[in-house]
Structure 1
Amino acid sequence: MKVNVPIISDGECQDNYSKKNKKISNHMICAGYSAGGKDSCQADSGGPLACLGPNNQYFLAGVVSWGWGCANPSFPGVYTEVSHYLTWIESVMRDHHTKDINISSVHD
């Protein structure tokens, strides 16, 4: 299933989650609607937060991490921000890469 949710500023997200004694770090992205209604949920953990880039190609911005329930007003979904882990991801992929994959063939 796919749902479109807006990215929420770190400050707004922290303001909301501070009411629940939760901290939003600079390695997290928040996305959702202030009115709630659409969000990722528990079974979505590890799933992608994909964003459309300026070249009209999607990129992986985040990974579903946690939230306060599902689609609750004022409590957007919290995602791990992939850009903070690129060096680690690249090193793991390089060290464990076993076969070449032609990305274009995956989308054909």
Structure 2
Amino acid sequence: MLIKLRKPAILNHYVKPIPLIKNCCFKGKRCLVSGWGRTGAGPASTLQCLNLPVLSKTTCRYAYGSIITENMFCAGFMKEGKDSCHGDGGGPVVCNGKLQGVVSFGRGCARPGYPGVYVELCRYTSWINHTIATN
């Protein structure tokens, strides 16, 4: 879903557009995930940012099975306890300064063996650009 604003956003040092990625991500690429989601006992009081490695589709499917489609990718650590969490959904995944994905889901938060799952925006860039151009 894309949202059309009634009037243009006021761009400044704090508010600016982010370019969409053109190519799909690959294993080992590092990306930043940010959000206001849970950090232990409760919601974050400040914006959180986490640098995560993109995992292979094989690793992603090993964790989640056939629910993982070509329109998704996994990022995170299979053993460490760092991940996006409840309240981060819909947040950005930024790789090399470009919007690569959107926080989607996971099994719990930072559970060993279950990395975060993200929407693979490269699969939708043509639709996004067409929708923006025609509206």
Q: TM-score range by the shorter chain?
A: 0.7 to 0.9
How big is each residue's C-alpha offset from its partner over 1:27-54, in whole Å with a ceiling of 9 and x where there is no partner? 10100101131111121111111112xx
- Structure 1 CA distance for aligned equivalents of residues 134 and 85 of structure 2: 32
- Structure 2 CA distance for aligned equivalents of residues 82 and 95 of structure 1: 19
- Structure 2 CA distance for aligned equivalents of residues 63 and 94 of structure 1: 22
- Structure 2 CA distance for aligned equivalents of residues 31 and 15 of structure 1: 13
SS in 2 for 1:83: helix
**What is the aligned-residue RMSD (CA, Å)?**
1.2
Percent identity between the aligned chains?
A: 43
- Structure 1 CA distance for aligned equivalents of residues 112 and 92 of structure 2: 22
**Residue segments in structure 2 that go unaligned for 5+ positions in a row:** 1-47
Moved over 3 A (4+): none
Aligned residues: 88
1:7 paired residue among 48, 54, 62: 54
- Structure 2 CA distance for aligned equivalents of residues 92 and 45 of structure 1: 23
For normalisation by structure 1, the TM-score amounts to 0.76
- Structure 1 CA distance for aligned equivalents of residues 132 and 81 of structure 2: 36
**Residue segments in structure 1 that go unaligned for 5+ positions in a row:** 53-57, 97-108
Q: Note if 1:81 corresponds to 2:123.
A: no
